[in-house]
Amino acid sequence: MSPWLTVLAVLATLLALVLVGRDAYRHAESATSADFPQRTRAGGLPVAALREPQAPVADRALPPPVVAPEPVVVPPGGGAEEPIVRVRDGERVALHRSPGGKVVAEVDDETPFGSTTAFSVNRSRPGWLGVPSEELPNGELAWVRADPEELRGETTPYRIVVDLSAHEARLRRAGDVVREWPVTVGTAATPTPTGSYSVTDLIEGGLNPVYGCCAIAISATQPYLPAGWTGGDRIAFHGNGTGEALGLDASNGCIRSPDGVLRDVIATVPLGTPVRITE
């Protein structure tokens, strides 16, 4: 059986245990990204801390490109439906380095930003699912047991694709482009990491105006933070509150997008939606 059919078979088992209807996705109230500070569940985002850092100094050594290994995922171009799993209420899931391998982290049913914990499924092995997670380095998959008592399976027709060289992002539905927009991405010193990720949080409100209306946090992280930066290492799509021209290499790795587009995408895609970033 092909890896894709195996994924569908595992999801069918998970879906068979789901009650009719879907839980509403819980939206977080604050941001997360390489440009965003960390927050606690009880607290809001400190507005003063949300600021664009100064450009890296000219004589700083440039890091090597952040290029994640090519994963073995769904057939080229994606399938009509993308597999997703979400952690069930009250459950805690171990993330393994490999199927049956060492546990590297544990996650519960809620992200640090208040969203339901969800993953896209990139690979499968008998009884195991390979998922992207910010708990591992970019390009490495975490492996979770395909346990229907811990995970709830579903699918989405949506996928977000970012072309860094073209400074363009696209929302695809069942392989067809339904929305595209210009983006500003990371500089040479703080590049936007390439690879396969998933949407972890859909964030509206509570942001410093410089970050616009909203943000879509993903499972990518920034290993090359600017000197003195204390705002965390998560990557996100976020709005363009400054009104600067888009289509540039000018961020700390986050993907600046038009506010109106982000509102529409947030209203469309579920948590766990796969995100592919290419050169």
Where does the chain have alpha helices with state H? 3-15, 259-266
Which class does domain 3-22+81-156 fall in? mainly beta
b/e burial code for range 107-121 (CB count within 10 A of at least 16 → b):
bebebbbebbbbbbb
Give tens-digit pLDDT for 29-85. Answer: 333 444 444 443 333 333 333 333 434 444 445 555 555 444 333 333 345 899 999
- Per-domain residue ranges of the chain: 3-22+81-156, 47-54+157-278
Nearest residue to 7 (alpha-carbon basis) of 108, 81, 104: 81
Which class does domain 47-54+157-278 fall in? mainly beta
Per-residue pLDDT, 34 = 43
Give tens-digit pLDDT for 181-218. Answer: 999 999 999 999 999 999 999 999 888 888 899 999 99
SS3 210: helix
CA 133 to chain centre: 8
CA distance 182 to 158: 19
C-alpha torsion sign, points 245, 248, 251, 253: positive
Number of Cβ atoms within 10 Å of the Cβ of 168:
16
Tokens standing for residue 216: 């879509």
Cβ atoms of residues 120 and 131 within 8 Å = yes
Total residues belonging to the chain: 279
Give tens-digit pLDDT for 157-170. Answer: 999 999 999 999 99
Per-residue pLDDT, 144 = 98
pTM for the full predicted model = 0.76
Per-residue pLDDT, 218 = 98
